[in-house]
A = this chain, B = another copy of it.
């Protein structure tokens, strides 16, 4: 029973006796100042860089966003002699697709080939297509489907005949100036709603304080009207450092960047979108695939029931609404992690100061003698020795 009590006591001692390091207080002001100063540096890093600059105490989340757009405007076609199209058009004619996606194309220039039907016609004169007899024209699909005949292209030139949508498109480059550069006065309404799912945060780019009458007359301007969600195409292009009339000729891609980067902590103020514009296609290196164009067709039926089409090579500006954003909000985990890391560095300060104390001070032997006790291998269990010389401790 005495044994049991003893065991129990030993356990209690083991569990609840408090073991604490023995310390030595060194009254060296120089070392003390170095110690405090280093601590201060680490604390300044924690407060200044980690908290204020990097906001490393925050959890992060990426934006989830929905965008709808609406273009408004009317335009007249320049130099309608170039084309058989009507002289007037609206967004139903010029915006593709029409349903208001976050990426859409505004037609500014075009090459129109009307009344195409699938039939046969001579190719345009090119070194590879000029021929003098049928044997110069291999049948089969090379670029177009040749049928093996050599026919008159004009009175003087013969070219191979092909089966294709005829007449072939005459692509002599886009007209200059652009046919529909009046599209610069179209306006664009962007409706953008964003969510940060982790923080259950929802917001729209049309602010709650905006009313119908303001929306009817306002126009975005980065300095005077930064909250208005209505943009004039010409203004966006010029904010991106480009010239609309020039860009309209060969087309291009314009990014409308909506930046929702936000600090959602309550002391950080409002979370508002910032708009910026940049040209996304490479127009520096003019030679490599410049501009933006594509071909589309409108299909008709002739009164005889035959299908014909109008082929349009469309040049224009593709607008891409790009919503970016990372939100931060105070979080316990990142706070603990960053605090922990900094405290670890704080706990390195004594190691450094010890090294200075035992290496660089005049009284280093004196301090070392009191701080460090050296056991000797030959010491017996009942003997004890304090070395007097330099200490080669490891820690």
Contacts and interface: CB of A to CB of B under 8 A. Distances in A.
Contacts of A174: none
Given A25-B392, A189-B289, A287-B211, A311 B370 contact: no
15 contacts: A13-B27, A16-B33, A17-B27, A17-B392, A18-B394, A25-B372, A25-B392, A50-B336, A66-B253, A66-B322, A91-B295, A97-B99, A99-B296, A99-B318, A344-B347
A34 to B, nearest CB: 8
Interface stretch (A151-159, A220-228, A238-246, A350-358): A350-358
Interface of A: 10, 12-29, 31-33, 35-36, 49-50, 54, 56, 62, 64, 66, 68, 70, 74, 76, 85-93, 96-101, 103, 105, 115, 117-118, 141, 143-145, 163-165, 182, 189, 191, 193, 197-198, 204, 206, 208, 210-212, 215, 253, 255, 259, 280-282, 285, 287-289, 292, 294-301, 303, 305, 307, 309, 311, 314, 318, 320, 322, 324, 326, 332-333, 336-345, 347-348, 350, 353-354, 357, 363, 365-367, 369-377, 379, 381, 384, 387, 391-395
Given A99-B318, A372-B22, A381-B366, A15 B27 contact: no
A25 B36 contact: no
B74 A144 contact: yes
A164 B88 contact: yes
A90 B165 CA distance: 9
Contacts of A307: 85-86
